[in-house]
Structure 1
């Protein structure tokens, strides 16, 4: 039962309580009506808290009807939900001669499933009663002690096992193994579980045994263990115990079972369906008899334990008990009960022998009810609506449906949290946004993107390898984490179309950097190890905000996170992500971003590719010096659901071309899918496509209408490179137009890399070896003569990662200088310090990148004189033909800027 308790409410009674009524031919007289109204009020369980219940001792009148019969009819009538009750007529039951027998019968009657509600279940009392009926004797064969017999019986009581063990025939090792297994399952395991339960040391097991050792009767602590205490309760052994203490233990265990049955727990609505207290009607009670003994024990147990219980006892006797200070007339039953409720706290504290007694007697003028009187039926109140049996199932269904809807809006089967690795994802606008460093979450399950998924799995496998190498190095090698943040979902693709070539290539560049570091000697304590987290910002980086918010928490929890690589497209959403990453304090190394003034969004931004101003300059110089044309037409696109203001790449490129060509730019127009370009047929100037690669295929289809009179000089920006790197798109390209397009990594083609390796260029030679390894990229690059092209973004991402790695290695070398036994502490460096070290290393001679030397001005994150080139293909659908470099600007290696010149 719970504290606090509430006393019986004062009169007048509630509107739904039976009202006292004057005696009638078919009802009880006034005194009987008061008694029945009091019983109704006491047995009705309050909706909140619980009330203390007295012991009502009714004194029979010398003459008149039988109140016991009236009360039996009162509690036993009615259909449906009855009050749980037990009626014990002690005068008619000579077998109920002691308290154990009386409690045994009381438990039997209350356990019946006959009251329109779930039966009351008992766990503690049956065990105590069972122990009292056990006799411990040594077996006739002399084997085993009394304690061993008790243990065996207790274990068998928990769960009976078959009399005969099943036999496994055969002399083979398999038969023997099965016999051992059966023995373990049927003997050893139950024995171990039983020992754990009776020990009372495991909270979730053996609570009933633990209760016996914590209650106060028979001094259980003297027995040390439950088995010792149980032995003291068995026949013969308990002869040395005080009988009153044994009876109190039995009664206390009985009341404890009622307390637990009447507990109210929020998570179990069924507990709230018990709306009426159980009542025990003891008839034929005599002073000094077993009924009187039970009443006295109940009074003592309640006083001594200080705990309440839900049992209402009504005793009918010919005379009042000697311990009572006085009796009250039936007419004052309510008043007497209210006065008792006010005084019980004090009287129980003083342990008065009549603390719980309320003794009532009929007045001389208050006749007892006649035998023919018909009392009103006592029916248990209906349970609250939310405790009905249907509710748990309904709640579970609603919760499951709600969780299903919430999970479906937040996760899907291919976008979900994982217990392994560092994974956090959300489903936003049907795109899986978040980050992962483990194969449990691989981004993009669309058909045709197998190579994108394969390189992610390769990175995740190398993450585990890097962790293992770092552990074996005793944490001596520097260890850093870089996050690749890109656009890994959102494009509409055919089942056979690889639509994320650029992202796949950048991930391949990071995988190559990881691979190169893993190939370092195990004794090279100065060589760093790279851990890569792959993050998706959604189509056109529209969900970069939520992705960065997740990365902020990752960086806070993982001090090895030192920077972000990627971002893919220069858009307003990308600029916003840069500002957020700057606020978080994470440097960003962008392999391919080239919009002008992107560095204004972050003081920790470093761009690997040349800005659009350099690209516009190269196109203008090429048109003027090589093509010898004086006029240009420029068409731009911004992609689906975008604009020139939001698309920073296209916007700054168009501005650069407008400034460089000036008045020679005779047409500047936005092109959209479906618009015809017949006006450009036979155009002799330079026709510049300054848009996104996703619209370049439609642009070519529009020019196909020119037939044999196409524009003479078609030049595409560096976004076209993404189209040209996709063989699936090129092979179905319309027309046979020659195209010249901008390349940011012309120095990383297979032919140039082989020539550099032959000339002793260590940086490009090593890179060629890594990308050609059989156990890294699929397929390997630049092998068997021509081989599969390496992809220019592979080298750009590789350069970005290795710049960060070399900066960390430099900082680690300084920290190690004063302590040869130094171990890498991720807290020893921070992202801002690594960014500063990158600038320091690359301020003068620059970083010798595979795609060209990388130098930064002191006040800008844009590279200075970064290598750019123009590549030309004679026919776009001719995938097998290598593009030819026709023009370039910027420095390939250290030294002054050589300017722009044809090849």
Structure 2
């Protein structure tokens, strides 16, 4: 309690014995607790003739605070004009408490003024029922705010003038009218809460009126004559107390609510049993008992006699003890609905006490509000939040990397300057670097086909199986020139996913068993360094979306990729990797399958080629791991080098790491096998180093399968030396344009269909393998296509076994789960295998590495000659049909052109 400066007490400060104890009780009850609220009684002061006027001292105690005074109202029950009723008394109470005169924001009332206004309306004179309802509606609308005058539409004028008048009419008349109708209907949670409150409270049986307008009619003059006056008065008082409850509600998001630090007080003078003041006290007790609601109003009543409900008053000097006794008994009294449940009756002693100690009566001031609820703080806090949020958003998101505001599933964040996460919508395309237009274009194509697939699914009455696959790759982080396409391999894999989508969209509308595919594109950052963060986001997506059944991609065999596989295994998502080939990658996940042959098979093929075709006895091997990586963390290079050492043994006469700037003049004219066992990003520098050899280059330069990413990049090949033929490993030589055209001629349905799709006008840009535009397809297109279609066929098989195609049965995404789809892929491909575009794909029961998967060596005579297709010179593995033993390696003639 805040005290004013002490002053010498005047004689009017003299009080009866116990008067100071009573003021101390008020000082205890008036401040609001920091948490919760206390129940407030009706303090009835019995004031026999000759007793000092305690109520006058209470009024001075409350009304003379220096700054923040207690909101209070004074009503003299004996001074009311004859015929005054409870509504008039409440009207006076409302007027006094609504004043902005207490050093705080004024109390605002919504329910009580509406109820009081309705009681002052008359609809019965000269109006039938419908006219009365219409008049009431008009008055209610005008009470909310007068409507603008209707302006007639112009007789002539242009379209813009007429449209502007129509818009003005909508804003002034039609929209407010519609909003009002919604508000009074009580059916929309956001608007019309005070109308809805009247239909939910208990007085006057509001449910009998069905709507608020019907209930409002019953409160108007004339119509109200049929209601019980006691119920009408209780409704008014209940509405008044509800407004106080809402004004004193503490909401965390509204600091102003916490600035009300003292309860409002009603000082009711000259109360006598049976008079208007006593009726108001009885109504207050009944409303509190019947509604079971507390309210923040403290009532101090004074009269010559005690109330009939409680005739045994406590001495005034025992005010504290009386309050504590009442507080302990209240729950039981309230449960029994005793008429005296809320009364604390006190009787002053007629003997006066001396002046108060320490210099007189000190007015009570409302406590200061918490510092964080001051008026300046919301603005300051908003500025701080905006600044902090902007700084945080700047670190978490940025241009071209932000959550979607226009729909779609998008979850991204900036990690070390890279946009990591996933998206299924054009609202978020990965990689806005110059030169990566084709990478963004294929993402846009996929997202457009996502919308098309969802639309086809809806039109099929959701009967077709519908699944989501995540393409997870490295879509950012490479340093590029403005005219350089640096993500050719990732773009090709996305094109394979888009081709699978496209093929499924071309199925007949009546084919209820044919699946539809939605693709989510995810980025794990350069060298999959941020795969763990992306996987955490994908785990959340899989939990929320039961259509997510697997992941395709992963791009590079690194330690970060292995960790991502382990985490995806933990969350139960199978992975089909089109190009990963490090040995034993499946050890990181029970749900992992790869489409390409492992490094063990690649090494066996290269060694056989060197021995049987090149007829050389020794090999030199140079390895690289890429920028910022290490030999231990690069699992692809690590296992490839280990396999070469084991396979060649003593014939491997040189094994070195190559780095940018290291000269290779020692390899000039070398007639053994010169094998590049590194990453494609360093192959350009490797070729440049061999340029020093001039007209005496090494005779047999062979690159691993990573080199195909370099060969697929025309921008990098343009500046390469033209006198060094390059032979490199291919994982999908059967998916080249020449091989696909040959397959079409021999009626190979799977590869012929794939060729048809990639030649279409409305899929890839530019279309591939057309006779008039022989743009190469890229081997990773077929690998990613095979991976996606294996998952799709597994889902279709499960749907058929669940009798999904029965008439009228809708697809239920929860009918299958990712683990079950993985098991079905293994089951389908364990025997004869899956006839993929890239070759036959079979898996043993205990491994995620394919058995006898086809590999080939392709040769480029002149690297800068982008238009010339590579020529297959050697191959191993099964192309179409399984064999009892691994298919022998063999030389290949030039493919037909």
Is the shorter-chain TM-score for this pair beyond 0.5, marking a shared fold?
yes
Q: Deviations over 1:838-870 (max 9, x none)?
A: 556656665444334445556554444444333
The equivalent residue for 1:169 is: 154
* 1:651 has 2:641 as partner: no
2:45 is paired with a residue whose SS is strand
Q: Deviations over 1:27-50 (max 9, x none)?
A: 545645344333333323333321
The equivalent residue for 1:591 is: 578
Q: In 2, are the aligned partners of 1:136 and 1:235 still within 8 Å (CA)? A: yes
* 1:261 has 2:251 as partner: no
The equivalent residue for 1:687 is: 674
Q: In 1, are the aligned partners of 2:70 and 2:264 still within 8 Å (CA)? A: yes
The equivalent residue for 1:8 is: none
Distance in 1 (CA, whole Å) between partners of 2:152 and 2:804 is 72
The equivalent residue for 1:149 is: 135
Q: Deviations over 1:666-690 (max 9, x none)?
A: 2111112233333334434332211
Change (3 A) 1:867 1:101: closer
Distance in 2 (CA, whole Å) between partners of 1:891 and 1:490 is 37
What pairs with 1:391-410 in structure 2 (closer than 5 Å)? 391-397=377-383, 399-400=385-386, 403-404=389-390, 407-410=393-396
Alignment match of 1:749 (pick from 736, 746, 750) = 736
Shift of 1:649: 1.6
Q: In 2, are the aligned partners of 1:59 and 1:362 still within 8 Å (CA)? A: no
Distance in 2 (CA, whole Å) between partners of 1:831 and 1:863 is 20
Distance in 1 (CA, whole Å) between partners of 2:457 and 2:73 is 73
The unaligned stretches of length 5 or more in structure 1 are 1-14
* 1:387 has 2:380 as partner: no
Change (3 A) 1:488 1:108: same
Alignment match of 1:631 (pick from 618, 622, 631) = 618
Distance in 2 (CA, whole Å) between partners of 1:212 and 1:863 is 72
Shift of 1:129: 2.7
* 1:159 has 2:142 as partner: no
Alignment match of 1:414 (pick from 400, 417, 424) = 400
Q: In 2, are the aligned partners of 1:22 and 1:30 still within 8 Å (CA)? A: no
Shift of 1:363: 1.9
Shift of 1:119: 0.4
What pairs with 1:525-564 in structure 2 (closer than 5 Å)? 527-551=514-538, 554=541, 561-564=548-551
Q: In 2, are the aligned partners of 1:631 and 1:686 still within 8 Å (CA)? A: yes
* 1:59 has 2:47 as partner: yes
Distance in 1 (CA, whole Å) between partners of 2:24 and 2:188 is 48
Shift of 1:691: 0.6
* 1:460 has 2:450 as partner: no
Alignment match of 2:785 (pick from 787, 798, 823) = 798
Q: In 2, are the aligned partners of 1:198 and 1:210 still within 8 Å (CA)? A: yes
The equivalent residue for 1:496 is: 483
Alignment match of 2:71 (pick from 63, 81, 84) = 84
Shift of 1:158: 2.2
* 1:106 has 2:93 as partner: yes
What pairs with 1:289-688 in structure 2 (closer than 5 Å)? 290-291=276-277, 293-295=279-281, 297-299=283-285, 301-302=287-288, 305=291, 307-317=293-303, 325=311, 330-342=316-328, 349=336, 351-352=338-339, 356-366=343-353, 375-397=361-383, 399-400=385-386, 403-404=389-390, 407-418=393-404, 420-473=407-460, 479-523=466-510, 527-551=514-538, 554=541, 561-582=548-569, 586-602=573-589, 604-688=591-675
Distance in 2 (CA, whole Å) between partners of 1:136 and 1:278 is 36
The unaligned stretches of length 5 or more in structure 2 are none
Aligned length: 883
Distance in 2 (CA, whole Å) between partners of 1:345 and 1:475 is 58
Shift of 1:636: 0.4
Q: Which moved more, 1:533-542 or 1:341-350?
A: 341-350
Change (3 A) 1:172 1:840: same
Shift of 1:795: 2.3
Q: In 1, are the aligned partners of 2:10 and 2:360 still within 8 Å (CA)? A: no
Distance in 1 (CA, whole Å) between partners of 2:793 and 2:86 is 87
Change (3 A) 1:113 1:542: same
Shift of 1:498: 1.3
> Which of the pair has more CA radius of gyration?
1
Q: Deviations over 1:771-820 (max 9, x none)?
A: 22221111111224462111121222233334444555566666669979
The equivalent residue for 1:725 is: 712
Distance in 2 (CA, whole Å) between partners of 1:828 and 1:246 is 59
TM superposition score normalised by structure 2: 0.85
Shift of 1:623: 3.5
Distance in 1 (CA, whole Å) between partners of 2:420 and 2:665 is 42
Shift of 1:193: 4.1
Shift of 1:634: 1.2
Distance in 2 (CA, whole Å) between partners of 1:219 and 1:766 is 73
* 1:879 has 2:866 as partner: yes
Shift of 1:615: 2.7
2:267 is paired with a residue whose SS is strand
* 1:715 has 2:705 as partner: no
Q: Deviations over 1:559-602 (max 9, x none)?
A: 65554432222223333444455555555433222223334445
Shift of 1:656: 2.5
Distance in 1 (CA, whole Å) between partners of 2:855 and 2:289 is 94
Q: In 1, are the aligned partners of 2:323 and 2:344 still within 8 Å (CA)? A: no
Q: In 1, are the aligned partners of 2:2 and 2:367 still within 8 Å (CA)? A: no
Q: Which moved more, 1:535-544 or 1:320-329?
A: 320-329
Q: Which moved more, 1:176-185 or 1:688-697?
A: 176-185
1:496 is paired with a residue whose SS is coil
Q: In 1, are the aligned partners of 2:729 and 2:855 still within 8 Å (CA)? A: yes
What pairs with 1:231-246 in structure 2 (closer than 5 Å)? 231-238=217-224, 246=232
TM superposition score normalised by structure 1: 0.85
Change (3 A) 1:219 1:476: closer
Change (3 A) 1:138 1:849: same
Distance in 1 (CA, whole Å) between partners of 2:329 and 2:133 is 47
1:325 is paired with a residue whose SS is coil
Q: In 2, are the aligned partners of 1:61 and 1:362 still within 8 Å (CA)? A: no
1:872 is paired with a residue whose SS is strand
Shift of 1:512: 2.1
1:658 is paired with a residue whose SS is helix
The equivalent residue for 2:890 is: 900
Distance in 2 (CA, whole Å) between partners of 1:216 and 1:312 is 23
Q: In 1, are the aligned partners of 2:77 and 2:275 still within 8 Å (CA)? A: no
Distance in 1 (CA, whole Å) between partners of 2:307 and 2:724 is 116
Distance in 2 (CA, whole Å) between partners of 1:325 and 1:219 is 34
Q: In 2, are the aligned partners of 1:28 and 1:375 still within 8 Å (CA)? A: no
Distance in 2 (CA, whole Å) between partners of 1:527 and 1:321 is 84
The equivalent residue for 1:766 is: 753
Shift of 1:113: 0.9
Change (3 A) 1:756 1:113: same
Distance in 1 (CA, whole Å) between partners of 2:803 and 2:246 is 65
Distance in 1 (CA, whole Å) between partners of 2:279 and 2:132 is 33
The equivalent residue for 2:726 is: 739
Shift of 1:507: 1.7
RMSD value, Cα:
4.2
Shift of 1:500: 1.1
Shift of 1:115: 0.9
Q: Which moved more, 1:766-775 or 1:816-825?
A: 816-825
The equivalent residue for 1:5 is: none
